[in-house]
Every structure is written in structure tokens, then in C-alpha cells.
Structure 1
């Protein structure tokens, strides 16, 4: 048994043959730094909140226009 498999529990149904070296599936190259990941997350949150805020703003404007129209119509009928 090699040194790398002494700490790994190998079950009879394991896809890794007993006594063989367990190797990672992918290369362990860093794609982005943690700062880049954080900047990306913050940018995503800003964009999402901007769309949410824009939707709320549009709905509020529509409601305000409808209220003004109804108020104006109500005053004309009186």
C-alpha cells in the first residue's frame, strides 16, 4: 500500500482500486483570485438590486399616476 492510500479508507465497492493512488479529477489551477470573486459577487448584487429597485420605482410611479388620475376625475364629477 502506498503512502497516499494509507489515510484513505478504501471500500470494496470503491472505484479506486485498493492500493492505488487517489488523484484529483481536475487540475488545481486557480482560475480567479479571491478578490476577483468578491468583486464579481458585489457587481452581481448591485445589478440585481438595481433591477429590483427599478421595478419597485416603476410600480410606484404607475400607482401615483393612477391615484392622481382618479383624484382628478373625482374632483371633476363633484
Structure 2
């Protein structure tokens, strides 16, 4: 009996699936970044254009990491929407 597309997915090893292969580097880099962030617990002075604030370094790094994740999310979403328009 011929295999259907869903049967093929069931027999594909988990780590060789394309979605998992794309997500694994993100997970690894995020884990390393979060360990780095939470190891830096000292307070620092940060200048935000005009005001100067004192806050824990891990907070500033966590904000920068979150903004980077948002930028990545928007970039990936725009790229996938653009790709769907060209495939019509």
C-alpha cells in the first residue's frame, strides 16, 4: 500500500524535520543568552538619550533580548507574507 503524506511524517525522525531544524538554533542561542543575562546581576547606570537610570544589568540585557526577538518575529512574518504574494 502506498504511503500518504501523513504516514511519511509519522516515520520521519523528529530531529530531521524541517521545522525542528529551524527551531533548534533559536532555542540554543536563546538558552545561552538567558544564562548570560541572569549571570550579570550587578546594577549599572544606563543613559537613555537624556535621562540616566540605575538598574540591574540583567534587566537591561533582558529588554534588549526581548526587543531583538520582536524584531526577528516581525522580519520573519514580513518575509513569509511577501513569499505568499509571489506564489500566486
- TM value normalised by structure 1: 0.43
More helix by share: 2
Higher radius of gyration, 1 or 2: 1
More strand by share: 2
